[in-house]
Structure 1
Amino acid sequence: MARRAARDGSRVRRERGPRSARVGQPRRQYGLAILSRYPILSWTHVALPVPGSLEPRGYLAVEVEVEVELELEADARGVPLTFATTHFTESDSGARARQAEHLVGLLRGVRTPTILTGDLNARPDSPEVKTLTESLVDAWLDGGTSDGFSYSASRPARRIDYVLASREFDVVRAQVVKSGASDHLPVVADLVLSAAERAD
């Protein structure tokens, strides 16, 4: 929270961050979104468990069909995969642990190769991240070349943003990209579906 002086000398309270609004304007709505160049075949949104009055958190997943090349260059076919994103609670590690466990349960029901991205608000050695990496590969560990710090954008000092993938993917590389679009820096990963999955 920050305070600033109004023109008449009174103090006006103002929030910072993604929910900020100009004084006198309604608060912005926000949530999760996935943009895809591939047609979205289906989508799912699930609310994650949050205690008490903490802001809502969710999991959004889409199924898309991507075109992959087969051994013969002229051959290509569509392969379904699931792309998902989430944003875990910031201030409560116990809530994040419950969210991670809930998410693992949701992912058990997914039958396609899966990529999960998100701001997990937790470092790589935290229990909540370890819960997810028991079944998913952390792309940064396989393909990153620096510390992977993505927060804050102005002074990156923590790795809390992730690209995780099911074991059907090979990680080619992962990188943090400079950008002023958010208070976090984007994490980008190049993933390749394994040859066995492409041939099935």
Structure 2
Amino acid sequence: MREISRKVAEIQNEGLGEHRLRDLNDEINKLLRERWHWERRIVELGGPNYNRHGAKMTDLEGNIVDVPNTSGRGPGYRYFGAAKKLPGVRELFEKPPELRKRRTRYDIYKRIDASYYGYRDEEDGVLEGLERSAEGAMRRRSGGGWRSGGGRRGRGRRRLLALELRRRCCLRRRRGREGEGEGVCGACSFA
């Protein structure tokens, strides 16, 4: 334990040079691995478990981090003191920038509700006023062709629709599109 603490104190000096810092860090990790093996053997023999309360790896700000094993030096490799600032090691502690996640079709449809399909358009009353004015304009354009159904629903609308279809058919004829025969569309009873 004394040897580990002495080397950890020595590695705090940033002026040692890159090679000396890497060697010291390797020696510290080797001693820690040996200590871990001894502590595991103590537990096997029935002694207390010291690994349960072991120290965690921290970054430069002191936050506890999980460092991925990209160096190939085995599991649990740690960096101490000035070794955290070495080139290639600093990138291990930096968080990768978050890539913008593509939205899936499920996420897009999850946000769609009834208002998207227009089911709540009547709630504010604006659409009702527009429909009323458009209906009045259609009645004026029909020129008296709108008749009340006389108590039966839909009859007046059907009458207006029939008049509109006849008018369109007659317009086609006037433009010279009746070359296929008279009354081709079936909506016009004029021959």
Give the TM-score, by structure 1 length.
Answer: 0.21
| Higher Rg of the two aligned structures | 2
Greater helix content: 2
